[in-house]
Chain A
Amino acid sequence: MSAPHDGLLLEVEGLRKRFGENVVLDGTSLRVKRGSLVTVLGRSGSGKSVFLKCLGGVVRPDEGTIRFDGREQRPEDRAARADFRSRCSFLFQGNALFDSLTALENVALPLEQTTDLKDREIRERSLEALKQLELEKHQDRYPGQLSGGMQKRLALARAIVTRPELVLFDEPTAGLDPLRRNAVFAMIATYQRQFHFTALVVTHDVPEALAASDHVALLDNGKMCFEGTPQDFAASENSVVRGFRDSASVLGTMLAEIRRGEAPSTDES
């Protein structure tokens, strides 16, 4: 493992991505410190997932630079991409578990395909990951036979089994109720500290993100319009941050207006 680069593990500068006429990322930048838990907030459709997929190499950005541990990630630099992929894991919004493989086989897959470990060692490490995520009793079950929370944990077990330095989480709480959202964020924070990886989470769940993160960024109109600590976020006077942070009170105001028979004043900006 190379030496830390100013304590930064990931640096993103001026990332741009458009799909046809739709500009999704318009010069997005972000810096992620080694060992931190960083959350990128943003409305649905603001390009958070595209941003994360650009980092993961699943989507190719049109412009911009991505540096991982000080090394620039260029599409043509296969060695750099391979190094990044061997040290990074991605947890997809829909978990992306292989439904034709059992829980154990799902966790073993990255080890089987990307390492020279022997079968016994792969099994031991996969079982260990399942045990750490309290899934060892379900090792022979298929993802479809597991609950939503278990599937999320299984996806996390697969993500950490290679002992990555960086884990990218794409909307890990999408479609979950508040209790489960708390549980997922608690799980991420717990395992991030336990396994000492750097976590980059994109979500639109403000309270959970503020409670769990070391650093928060807000993506709006393809740019990061806020970066700082959760405390800075809570105190920020930035109008987009306020709109996001105070969504509950905004809803209250809108409902009050509706009850009074007035047209609700929606602020989409």
Chain B
Amino acid sequence: MVRATGKYTLGLVQELGDFALFTARSFADVPKSRRLGRRVVRAFFEQGVRCLPVVMIVGMFTGLVLGLQGYYVLNKFGSEGLLGTLVSLSLVREMGPVLAALMLVGQAGSALAAEIGIQRNSEQIAALEMMGVSSHGYLVAPRLIAALIVFPMQAAIFVSVGLWGGSLSGSLLLGLEPGIYWSAVERAVQSNDVIECFVKATTFGLLTTGLCAYYGFNAHRSPSATGARAVSAATTHAVVLSSIMVLAADYVITSFLVRT
């Protein structure tokens, strides 16, 4: 039991170190990668434009539900006027960055892990290395750079759409005065909340994109599967672990940035 726990812990620490080196090397190889801008734009398109509809749809429904649930709870205490506060702080501090990141992991992250895994399987990564091209700089760095920009943007869009969703259910459906809702939003959200939102989104972007690229990149090292199954296993592992990491990192960041 002790031996198994120790072995597992050592494996975990080794993998964490490996992941940290992988991410560091990807950034370190940025200067070696030529014509990086084009690939950053492409990654920006994949993570940003392609994922925008799903982020907006989920943002809208999250805002609608928050508006409904919040209204009925606050109504019991005669505090419907605080609906804007509840919806905005929930979205800005927690739900915006977390849910936007989870949506991005589900769409762009899984695609990234699968794409790099297939490139590993079909020797495209070996071909790059053989050409003297840094595979980290060519394949991973543009995605990481794009993630640092896209994740905060998607979180901001999620929050904005969510606020409109909250306003829709609170004002249009349940009859709360829109001015009351929006003035509560304005009073509640402080610059610290926005900073927290962006810090979280940036961290999630770096973590999840790095993890998805890492698992795709190392798909050939899977001990239990080869070929297409290894890519499938790597993709599943990447998405599951990224989702867990989003929530774990959210807790850690919140505990550091917690305020009254």
Contact = CB atoms under 8 A, between A and B. Distances in A.
Interface of A: 53, 56-58, 82, 85-86, 89-90, 92-94, 96-100, 109-110, 112-114, 162
Given A92-B123, A94-B122, A96-B123, A114 B129 contact: no
Contact of B124 (A56, A57, A86, A96): A96
Closest 5 A/B residue pairs (Cβ): A85-B132, A96-B127, A96-B123, A113-B133, A90-B130
Contacts of A56: 130
A57 B133 CA distance: 13
Interface string B102-145: 00000000000001000100111011011111000010000000
Contacts of A89: 130-131
Interface in B37-75: none
Contacts of A162: 131
B229 interface: no
A85 B126 CA distance: 13
A98 B35 CA distance: 17
B254 interface: no
9 contacts: A56-B130, A58-B126, A82-B132, A86-B132, A92-B127, A97-B124, A109-B133, A113-B33, A113-B133
B34 interface: yes
A215 B34 CA distance: 39
| Best-surrounded residue of B123, B127, B138 (most CB of chain A within 10 A) | B127
B183 to A, nearest CB: 49
Contacts of A97: 124
Contacts of A53: 126
A113 to B, nearest CB: 4
B50 to A, nearest CB: 14
A94 B123 contact: yes
B39 to A, nearest CB: 11
Nearest to B131: A110
Given A99-B124, A110-B132, 15 more contacts: A58-B126, A85-B130, A86-B132, A89-B130, A92-B127, A93-B123, A96-B122, A96-B127, A97-B124, A110-B133, A112-B34, A112-B35, A113-B132, A114-B132, A162-B131
